[in-house]
Amino acid sequence: MSLDRRTFLQLTAAIQTAAALGVGPAQAQKADGLAFGPAEPFSWEGLKRQAKELAAKPYESPPRPDPEIVRQIDYDAHGKLRFKLENALWGEGGSVYPLSFQHVGLYFQKTVRMHLIEKGASREINYNPNLFMGGPDHVARKLGPEPSAFAGFWVHESRNDAGWKKAEPWATFLGASYFRAVGELGQVGLSARGLALGPGTASPEEFPDFISFWFEPAPTENDPVIVNALMDSPSLTGTYRFAMRRGKGVVMDIDASLNLRKPVERMGMAPLTSMYWFSETVKPTAIDWRPEIHDSDGLAVWNGKGEHFWRPLNNPSRIMVSSFVDQAPRGFGLCQRDRNFENYQDGVKYQLRPTAWVEPLGDWGEGAIQLTEIPTDDEIHDNIVAMWVPKDPTAAGKTYDYRYRLHWLADEPYPSPLARCMATRLGNGGQPGQPRPKGVRKFMVEFKGDVLSKLPFGTKPEAVLSASRGQFSYVYTEAVPNEIPGHWRAQFDFTVEGKDPVEMRLYLKHGAEVLSETWLYQYHPF
C-alpha cells in the first residue's frame, strides 16, 4: 500500500466522528442533505452479469477527482472534512444502522460510487461538498460534483442508542478493497480485504478496488446490513455481497464471485492483513520501551482433518511465505491471544485488538492457507497476510465462486477443546552456571487448558517434538510456577547449523491421549 499503517489509523481515527450523507429518497430532502440519481433496476444476479461483461473489456482505473486538488487534501485537511451526522443515510429511519461516507484525499484518491436500494431499485447517492464540514475555504470545495468524491463508508451503531453519533462505527470500508470491524472487546485492529493478488511474490502486489457499493437496509437490530460491491482491477472483476450482523462482535457472511481477465500468480481468497513487530518470542535489546507490539500474535488453523494448530508470527529478516496444504479447511484466523495489558503498556490498547476468523461455507477444495510475513522496523506497517490459495492454477476467462463467514471476536469461534499455546519464548541454550554453547537456542512453549489441569498428581505430559533439521536436547515439561491450574510449559534446547529457517512441530500427550493443539514454528537461527 502507498499509505502506511500508522497514517491510515491516524487518519481514520481523526475522522471517526465525521458526519454522513442523507436520508432515503422517500423522505423530504434537506437543504444540505442527500440527493439521488434516477432509479434503476437492481439484483444480485444482475450485478454478477455486469461484472462478467466488465471483465471482457480492457481495464480502466476508477475515476479520480482533480488530482491537483486531491493531493492537497493531506492528513490535516482530511481530518477537517467531518461529516454532518444529522444527514446520515438512515439517520432518521428506514434502517436501524445509519451510514456515513468518507471523502477522497491524498491517501484515498479514487472515486467509489454509492447507491441506495429500495424495493428492487437502486439510486446513486450524489456527491455534494456541503455534506462535509470544513468551511467554505476548504480546498475540497474546489472539486466539482463529478466524478464523485466519495472514497468509502462507515456503519454506525443502532439509532436505538441515543449516543450512536459519538460511538465509533462498527464496520468501515475505505481504501482499495480493505474493510474492518469492531471486535467484542470494543476495539478495531487488523483488516480484511476482498482479495489479495500476489503478496510475497517477485512482482509488485496488485490491489483490486471496490468501485461501487449498493446498500440494503436492516429494519431491526436482528437483521443484517446488506452491502453489495463491485470490484475491478487489471487482472479481474468481482462481485461481493456482505451480510453484516452486529452482536457481541461483528459477523459477516460474504458471497464472492470473481472473473479473471488474465492468470494471477498467487490469488489469495478471504485475506486478512495485520501487524506484528515483536513479542515475548524474539525482542532485540532496547528496540522499544514497550514489552510487545502487535495487532495479532499468531495464525490459528482448524484444518480439514480436524487438527487445530497454532503458528506464532515472526518478523523475519526477509519476506517469508509459509504454506499449509489442506483440503476443505474448517477455518483459519489471525488472532490476538495475549490479553494482558502489562505485556503491552500502551494506551492504544493492543490487548483488546480483535481476532478475525475465516469460516468457509461449503467445500473450498484443495489448496493452502498461506502466511506471508514481511520485515518491519516499526508498528506503522501491516506486514502480515493470511489467505486461502486454491491449488489449481488460475486461468483467464474463469469464474470463481466462494462463500465464507468472517468473525470479528475476542477469540476463535470454534476453539480446540485441547490445551492451547499461550506463549513462545526463546533464549540462550545450555544450563545455568555453565558456559553457554554457541548456536544453541532454548525454547519455552507454554500451553494452558482444562485437560492439563485434570492430569493425575505427579503426572507430567510428554512433549512430542520434530524439526526439518537440527537436534533437540534437555527436553522436559513442567507446570508453570504461577499456581494457575492447567498451565504447563515444554522446555528444550535446539542445535542447528546454518542460517536457513527451520520448521518445528510440538504437541503434548499423555500415553496415547493428545493433550494440546499442535504448535508450529518457523525458527530463524541467529
Q: Cα-flanking dihedrals φ and ψ of residue 101, to 5°? A: -125, 145
Rounded Cα gap, residues 142 and 177, in angstroms: 27
Q: How many Å apart are CA 431 and CA 395, to the nearest integer? A: 56
With 60 as the cut, is the pLDDT of residue 20 above it?
A: no
Q: What is the DSSP string of 305-360?
A: TS-EEEEE----SS-EEEEEEEES--EEEEE-----GGGT--TT-GGGPPEEEEEE
Q: What's the confidence (pLDDT) of residue 75? A: 87
**Kind and range of the H or E run holding 69:** helix 67-70
Domain extent listing, the chain: 183-200+266-415, 420-523
> How large is the average pLDDT for residues 172-197?
96
The per-residue pLDDT for 305 is 96
Q: What is the mean pLDDT of the chain?
A: 91
* Residue 377, pLDDT above cutoff 50: yes
Q: pLDDT category, 455, cuts 50, 70, 90?
A: very high
Residue 149 has pLDDT above 50, yes or no: yes
Asked if residue 30 has pLDDT above 50, the reply is no
- Per-residue pLDDT at 316: 96
Which fold, 183-200+266-415? Beta-galactosidase; Chain A, domain 5 (2.70.98)
Instruction: Indicate whether 23 pLDDT > 50.
Output: no
Write down the pLDDT at residue 3: 44
Maximum pairwise Cα distance, the chain: 82
pLDDT at 2 over 70: no
- Whether pLDDT at 340 is above 60: yes
* Better-predicted residue by pLDDT, 25 or 243: 243
| 130 within 8 A of 59, measured Cβ to Cβ | no
Query: What's the pLDDT band for 339 if we cut at 50, 70, 90?
Result: very high
pLDDT over 60 at 10, yes or no? no
Residue 525 has a CB neighbour count (10 Å cut-off) of 15
pLDDT tens digits, one per residue of 60-115: 999 999 999 999 998 888 888 888 898 899 999 999 999 999 999 998 999 999 99
DSSP code of 365?
-
Q: Give phi and psi for 412, each to the nearest 5.
A: -60, 140
Phi, psi of 332 (to 5 degrees): -155, 160
Q: Give the pLDDT band (50/70/90) at residue 15.
A: very low
Which of 2.40.40.20, 3.40.50.1980, 2.60.40.10, 3.40.50.720 would CATH assign to domain 420-523? 2.60.40.10
Q: Report how far apart, in Å, the C-alpha atoms of 32 and of each of 81, 133, 144, 419 are.
A: 15, 11, 16, 57
What pairs with residue 169 in β-bridges? Answer: none
Percent of the chain with pLDDT over 90: 81
Evaluate if residue 351 carries a pLDDT over 80: yes
Peptide bond preceding 147 in cis form (omega within 30 of 0): yes
How much is the pLDDT for 29?
38
Please report the pLDDT score of residue 214 as a whole number. Answer: 98
H/E run at residue 118 = strand 113-118
- Note the pLDDT tens digit of each residue in 404-432: 999 999 999 999 999 999 999 999 998 88
The stretch 46-57 carries a mean pLDDT of: 97
381 closest CA partner among 247, 471, 277: 277
For the record, the C-alpha cell of 434 comes out as: 555453565
Stretch among 70-84, 157-171, 205-219, 346-360 having the lowest mean pLDDT = 70-84
C-alpha cell at 49: 452479469
Can you give the pLDDT at residue 5?
Answer: 43
- The predicted-structure confidence for 302-334, as pLDDT tens digits, reads as follows 999 999 999 999 999 999 999 999 999 999 999
As to burial, measured by CB atoms within 10 angstroms (0-12 exposed, 13-18 middle, 19+ buried), residue 421 is buried
Q: What is the arithmetic mean of pLDDT over 36-48? A: 96
Radius of gyration of the chain (CA): 25
pLDDT surpassing 50 at residue 257? yes
- Res 19: pLDDT: 32
Cβ within 8 Å of residue 62, ≥6 positions away: 110, 111, 112, 209, 211, 232
Q: What is the pLDDT of residue 32?
A: 58
